[in-house]
Amino acid sequence: MNRLIFALSLMTASFAAAQEDLRPALETTYSAWREAMIRHDASAWQRVTAEHRRVEVRNRIVSEKRTFPSAVFDLPAPPPTLQGLKFLDAKRNGATVKAAYFGKIDFGVGGEPTENLIVLSFIRGSGGWLYDQADFINLVGLPEVRKELAAGDLKYLQETPEAQATGVVPPTPAAAKPAKYIAKVYVFCPGREVNVRINKISRHRFANAKEAEVVIGGALDGPNEVHYTVKNLKGGTGKEVMTIRVYLMPENDESKPIKAFEYQIAAKAKPKEDGTETFTVDAAMAEKLTGR
């Protein structure tokens, strides 16, 4: 019995030590990633960024007809430093980790930063932890949560999906070809989840949203396929209006986007649960988009 208790104690101590060792490795990775962004160091950015994120960023950039990798560093403000922030917790699940920090997160946009929460995501690579992404959680409407986190109460982290390591490493997408025509998919879907796939490449999920996202690979000459699925969300009535659109973006910023596709239902109408439709980019449309 004493041996069993001793073995369990060793296991507990070993787990605690592993948790303690996690923080410096993660912060070293984040600092290296932040420094690469500030210095516009593409080689360093490649080394410390998770593979799937590197390809996703590259795909989005070439789909907007911008230059990779230089456009990686076109940010409105530098990534925030962790200095001065309170480390709350680091949760590991397999090859994924979420590290949470609380404090005055400064994005360098002026004004006095307020106390908020930032959760950093990491993926385990062959050479160690790689940076994935950051979720900034504004606590302006959650004053009680601010008080809890300031006091070291981590209940909010345990209840927040963004702070949970899933254990699932996202698959690395295929590299997209540079877009010929920039396209965006727009969805308005209160009370519903809408998944859209364009040309079997660009995948998008919208939940109770009014959002637009860049179409990976852009639009193609000739027919373009739009596949969508629709389902009701808990709390929805199933009678809300809904819109799915694809816009083509002219190279001339002064010209208006072209609405190439629309699927829309009125209030109380029932949408298709699964549909596949097409839109066509013809010569006249291509001329409007390129000015040539």
Domains of the chain: 2-163 (3.10.450), 182-290 (no CATH)
Task: Supply the pLDDT for residue 110.
Answer: 74
Task: Supply the pLDDT for residue 254.
Answer: 75
Instruction: Provide the token pair at 152.
Output: 């070291």
Residues forming a β-bridge with 89 = 100
Spatial CB neighbours of 44, under 8 Å, sequence gap ≥ 6: 32, 35, 36
Query: pLDDT per residue over 144-198, tens digit each?
Result: 999 999 999 999 999 999 999 999 999 999 999 999 999 999 999 999 999 999 9
Q: Quote the CA–CA distance of 233 and 22 in Å, as a whole number.
A: 37
CA torsion, ordered 241, 246, 252, 254, to nearest 10 deg? -10
Identify the sign of the CA torsion 270, 276, 277, 282.
Answer: positive
pTM of the complete model: 0.88
Identify the sign of the CA torsion 33, 38, 43, 46.
Answer: positive
CB atoms within 10 A of CB 85: 19
Segments of the chain with pLDDT less than 50: 2, 4-18, 20
